[in-house]
Amino acid sequence: MELHVVITGRKGLASQLYQQLREGIESGRLAAGTQLPPSRLLAEQLGISRKTVSETYSVLTYENFLVGKVGSGTFVNARAAIKPPKQSRTDFASAEVLQHWQELKFPIRHPSLEGTSRCDFIGGATSKHQFPEEEWRRCTQHALRQMANSLGFYGQPEGLPALREAIAQHVSFSRGVVCVDQDVVVCNGAQQALDLIARVLIQPGNIVAMEDPGYTPARLVFSAQGAQVASIPVDSEGMCVELIPQGTRLIYVTPSHQFPLGMPMSQARRIALLARAQQLGAVIIEDDYDSDFRYEGRPTDSLQSMDERGIVAYVGTFSKTLLPQLRLGYAVLPPALIEAVINAKQLTDWHTSTLPQWALAKFIADGYLLKHIRRCHGIYAGRRERILARVNSDLAPWFEAVPSIAGFHMALLCKVPVNIALLIELAKSVEIGLYSLAPFYHTHEVRPGLLMGFGAIETLDIDPALDRVKSLLMQIAG
């Protein structure tokens, strides 16, 4: 690697070199431990004498900026860099906007490896041990061959044709979504799909209606576009449709597995929601984030499959069925939205990475996805049943579970007053990750409780972890 030094003219060569090296070290651009080129090599690169470079190295070594290691070379010394003062946020004309973004709070931010509890009931994550590594490896090798045979140009913003076709077939088969491949836009997770739809539909001051409690990252996306987010309460049948205000342009719902409480939206409420959206001229975003896993009753139709007016945008993700790190999602869009969203996608990031697209297309087409879902279904069903059994027995004095039939998290509501914040802190001290429902409420009164994910925790860890939770509850009560 060449060291970036610029020498001009033929005078003051040593001074120029000294000044640039010292400024680089003091500013931190040349970090502690960085190895400098040998004096002979740097002299050749700069077109100056080796003696000039050696003398400059000697002066900087004497001043403790550099250190020589016998047999290894010359390195930047491990001393504190003196960084020049920089502007603060308040110096900028956009200080108010910067402050708005800096103060955003994300209740579902996943912990780093170092911050993960041994027994973690986090929602929205799966166990890495369930990931089909061998099948995915074969599909990735296929993807590499496809890329080797390509022209090497940028891809299409809507996604690879093979993946769009595979997604259309999968959601038609598994969720009854009425679509063809031309209706599908491949995204970097469901979160980008929400952002793209919001970009093409929302202007500052527009009203967006969403559930309260609800998916906070979606609320933040809409607010970032300048929308007024109307918080609509939910009951045992889902969103209270009659409370959606006049002037609403976009409605965001999670009808198959309400986030975070978990109840499905009733058929009557779905019909009412479609009618209300049509009356308002609003678009509905149906976020079907984890309904590939169902445990009770017959499958319900997606809201999109009931839509006869082209007003429902169906959003899904493979982060829940496969692995969050893949960041692959999609939107199935009505004809009126498709071109606008594709243009927004191209403007935002041009297209989703091609390699995982090829791999996922092969993974779905070869039947690996359905096989993986069937295998995981039994695992998650067992974990769900184990948690419910404990909640209905020895944890019953404190909690009750909200009835839900899909996904891999459930909500536990407090039956008696429990200091949830204290419980979560005490659980951390014994290597258990617990999560409150409170951050998902916006304007309506918080119903105290826990969001209990069972995708990431191992089955054998559930009972020992809940034994500790019970002990903590008794300790708090005592």
> Is there a single domain that holds both residue 293 and residue 400?
no
Instruction: Kindly give the interhelix angle for 459-477 and 368-391, rounded to the nearest 10 degrees.
Output: 30
In a domain, 247, yes or no: yes
Q: Pick the more confident residue, 306 or 98.
A: 306
Q: Among 333, 366, 399, identify where a domain stops.
A: 366
> Is there a single domain that holds both residue 344 and residue 375?
no
Cα 367 to chain centroid, rounded: 26
Please tell me the distance from the alpha carbon of residue 24 to that of residue 81, in angstroms, as a whole number.
Answer: 9
Q: What CATH number is attached to the domain comprising 444?
A: 3.90.1150.10
In a domain, 103, yes or no: no
> Is there a single domain that holds both residue 182 and residue 269?
yes
Please tell me the distance from the alpha carbon of residue 94 to that of residue 110, in angstroms, as a whole number.
Answer: 30
Q: What is the pLDDT of residues 221-273, one digit of tens each?
A: 999 999 999 999 999 999 999 999 999 999 999 999 999 999 999 999 999 99
Q: Among 366, 395, 416, identify where a domain stops.
A: 366
Maximum alpha-carbon separation in the chain: 86
Q: What CATH number is attached to the domain comprising 35?
A: 1.10.10.10
Cα 133 to chain centroid, rounded: 21
> Is there a single domain that holds both residue 222 and residue 187?
yes
Please tell me the distance from the alpha carbon of residue 341 to that of residue 250, in angstroms, as a whole number.
Answer: 15
> Is there a single domain that holds both residue 309 and residue 184?
yes
Question: Strand pairing of 329-332 and 399-401?
Answer: unpaired
Average pLDDT over the chain reads 91
Instruction: Kindly give the interhelix angle for 161-175 and 354-365, rounded to the nearest 10 degrees.
Output: 40
Q: Among 366, 396, 429, identify where a domain stops.
A: 366
Q: What CATH number is attached to the domain comprising 254?
A: 3.40.640.10
> Is there a single domain that holds both residue 144 and residue 175?
yes
> Is there a single domain that holds both residue 402 and residue 454?
yes
> Is there a single domain that holds both residue 150 and residue 212?
yes
Q: What is the pLDDT of residues 428-476, one digit of tens each?
A: 999 999 999 999 999 999 999 999 999 989 999 999 999 999 999 999 9
In a domain, 187, yes or no: yes
- Domain that residue 32 falls in: 13-76
> Is there a single domain that holds both residue 332 and residue 436?
no
Q: What is the pLDDT of residues 46-91, one digit of tens each?
A: 889 999 999 999 999 989 999 999 888 999 998 655 555 566 666 7
> Is there a single domain that holds both residue 396 and residue 381?
yes
Please tell me the distance from the alpha carbon of residue 332 to that of residue 97, in angstroms, as a whole number.
Answer: 33
> Is there a single domain that holds both residue 219 and residue 355?
yes
Check if the beta carbon of residue 293 is closer than 8 Å to that of residue 376: yes
Q: What is the pLDDT of residues 320-364, one digit of tens each?
A: 888 888 899 999 999 999 999 999 999 999 999 999 999 999 999
In a domain, 287, yes or no: yes
In a domain, 188, yes or no: yes
Beta-carbon contacts of 338 under 8 Å, excluding residues fewer than 6 positions away, are 182, 183, 185
> Is there a single domain that holds both residue 357 and residue 406?
no
> Domain total for the chain?
3
